[in-house]
Amino acid sequence: MSTRSRILRLSRYKNAAIRLKSLNFVKVFSDNLGDATGVTASQVRKDFSIFGISGNRRGGYQVDELLVQLNKVLGKDKPQKFIVVGVGNLGRALINYPGFGKSEIRIVAGFDIDPAKYNRKADAPILPIDELAGFAKANEVELAIIAVPDFAAQGVFEKLIKAGIKGVLNFAPIRLKSDDNVTVHNLNLETEFENLIYFVNTKTSPTE
């Protein structure tokens, strides 16, 4: 019913609604949201109907109310605390990512094994990985990002489970062996690049 791709679309509708609101839209139609996100109007309405999000016949959806409802479904009605494990290139970028500023996503700490990276004074402190479990429990953090190399990922993941983490966004290119109490989503940048390469190459070459 509520699949991964359906929820991804809800996020996009939300982003589109935010943009339209900033353009002073008071109401939006399923057709507008479809245009802004690249799906059909009936897909938008079907997605909404599955989550009980309703508008007004002929009147569309009130933007403000729509945003409240979408944020509620997406769990953005309250702050969501994340920790990042692996303060390399990508980890650091996520910790400092300004795009989360307006959103309810809060990155509250980073963890690494390299003492050169520790920084207890920062807004989001960088701490030794041994302190992970203590920190997570003390601060009631349930969400984590794995941004370590592939060979370290499974070990980190097991530490996260012990620390009571319930959801993991994994940037390492391996499938993590998980017990069922932890939700794992994988996101691999190389894979995304390869995907683009494939579609560009096959469009260009007339031999396929």
Partner DNA sequence: TTTATTTTGTGATTTTATTCACGAAAAAAC
Partner DNA sequence: GTTTTTTCGTGAATAAAATCACAAAATAAA
- Residues of this chain that interact with a second copy (CB under 8 A) are 2, 4, 7-8, 11-12, 14-15, 19, 36-38, 73-76, 80, 82, 88-90, 92-94, 96-100, 103, 105, 142-143, 149-150, 166-169, 173-175, 183, 185, 187-204
Minimum Å distance from CB 75 to a second copy? 4
DSSP label at residue 82: E
In the list a second copy, DNA, none, the entry touching 29 (Cβ below 5 to 8 angstroms by class) is DNA
**What does each C-alpha distance from 77 to 68, 186, 206 come to in angstroms?**
8, 24, 49
Distance CA 208, CA 196 (A): 16
In the block, which residue shows the tokens 């569309």? 60
Partner that binds at residue 121, options a second copy, DNA, none, CB closer than 5 to 8 Å by kind: none
Closer Cβ to a second copy, 9 or 45, answer by number: 9
Whole-Å CA distances, 91 to 47, 105, 111:
33, 15, 9
Dmax (CA) for the chain in angstroms is 61
| Residues found near DNA in the complex (CB under 7 A) | 1, 3, 5-6, 29-31, 39-43, 45-46, 48-49, 53-61
